[in-house]
Amino acid sequence: MTPVIHRHLSGAEAFQALSPEALDALAAVSSEAVLSAGEVMLREGDADTDLILILSGTAKAFRTAPDGDEIELNDIDAGDCIGELALFDSGRRAASVRATSESHILRIHVDRLDDDSVLTELKGTLATTVVRRARMLSDEMLKGMRAQLEARTLQNQFGYFLIFTIAIFIISTSLFYLVAEDYVEDVYDPGFSWQTVILFAIPSIFIIRVLKIPLRDLGIKRDGLFKSIWQAVLFCAVLTSPVIVYMLFFAEHTPPEERPVQITSAFLLQYFLHTVVQEIGARGLIQGLFVKFLADEKGHRSVLLASAIFASLHVTLGIDAVILTFFAGILFGYAYLYQKNLGGVIVIHYWFGVLAALLVAL
C-alpha cells in the first residue's frame, strides 16, 4: 500500500517539492478512504492536525453560524490539500469540509511523524499553499463585501425610485382633479401643458441627481444617434402615408373655430420640447430604472410598466388619450430597447404626436 500512497503524494502539487525521504515518511503515516457525498472530512472545532489530500471527487468548506445555519465557503476539487492551517498554528479547525460527491481521499496523520526534520520540510513546502489560499480567501471576502455594498446601494436607490414613481402618480391625480373640478378650462392650453411638463421634470431631475445617473444611461449619447434617427424617419414616412390618405379622402373636417387644437409653428416647437422632456423621463429614466431594479434583461416588463406610468400622465386629456399613449408608449419603449438611443425615439414620438394633433384638428 505504501508505494501506491507514495505515488499519490509525489503526484500532488502540494508535495512535489518534498524530498524522497520526506515522502516516504508521510506515506508511512497516511491512509486511504472513500467517502460518500455528504460525509464530513474535517469538522469545525476539532483539534487534530491531519492533512487531507483529495484524490478524486469534490468537497465544500462551510462554517456553522451561532444560530445553527451553515455558511458555505469555498469549493474544493480533486488534487487540493486541506487542513494545513491547523498544522501551522496548532489551533482547532476553523471550518468543516463535507464531500459533495463520492470522494477518494488520502488522510495524512501528521501527529504520528517522529522526525522533526520531516515536519519542518513539510511546513516549508505547504507555506506556499497556505499563502495562496489566504490570498484567495481574501479576494473572496473582498468580492463578498463589494456585493453586499452594491446590494445595499441598490436597495437605497430603489427606495428613491419608489418615491419618484409615487410622486408621478400624485402629480397625475392632482392634474386630473384640477380638470375634473373645472379649474382648468382648456387642457390644450400651452400654459397648462408647460405646468404639466415642469411638474414632471422636477422629480425626474431630483432622482437623476440623487442616483447620479449619467446622460449616457438616459439614452443621451452619440453612439448610434444618426442611425436611430434615420430608422425613425423611415418609420415615420411609412406611418404617415395611411394618415394622409385618411385625411384627404375619409376624414370629416371641422370648422377652424371649433377645432380643439390649432397647429401653428409655436405649437410644433413647444411640442418638440415637451417630447424631449417626456422621453428623457419616460424611456431614459423610468424604463431604464425598471430594467435595472427588476434585472429585466429582455426589457418586456420595463416597457409595460413605463408605458403605464407614461399613460397616466395623459389622464387629463381623457380615457382615449390614456389608451392611445399607453400603446404608443409600448411602441416607443421597444424602439428604445432596439436602438439604445433616445434620438430616434424622440423623432417617432414627436411625429406620432403631430399626426395625432392633425387628426384632432380636422
pLDDT in tens, 309-320: 889 888 888 888
Check pLDDT > 80 for residue 271: yes
Summarised one tens digit per residue, pLDDT across range 189-231 is 778 888 888 888 899 999 999 888 999 999 999 999 999 999 9
C-beta of residue 108 within 8 angstroms of C-beta of residue 50? yes
First-to-last alpha carbon distance for the chain, in angstroms, is 99
Categorise residue 212: left if φ over 0, alpha if ψ from -120 to 50, beta otherwise: left
Of 72, 44, 46, nearest to 59 by C-alpha is 72
Say how many C-beta atoms besides its own lie within 10 A of residue 352's C-beta: 19
Quote the pLDDT of residue 333: 95
CATH classification (class only), 2-144: mainly beta
Check pLDDT > 60 for residue 1: no
What is the distance between the alpha carbons of residues 100 and 33, in angstroms, rounded to a whole number?
15
Summarised one tens digit per residue, pLDDT across range 296-337 is 989 999 999 999 988 988 888 888 888 989 999 999 999 999
Summarised one tens digit per residue, pLDDT across range 9-34 is 877 877 878 888 888 888 888 888 88
- Secondary structure element (H or E) that encloses residue 108, with its range: strand 103-108
Q: DSSP readout, 30-77? A: EEEEEE-TT-EEE-TT-----EEEEEES-EEEEEE-TTS-EEEEEEE-
Domain boundaries, the chain: 2-144, 184-360
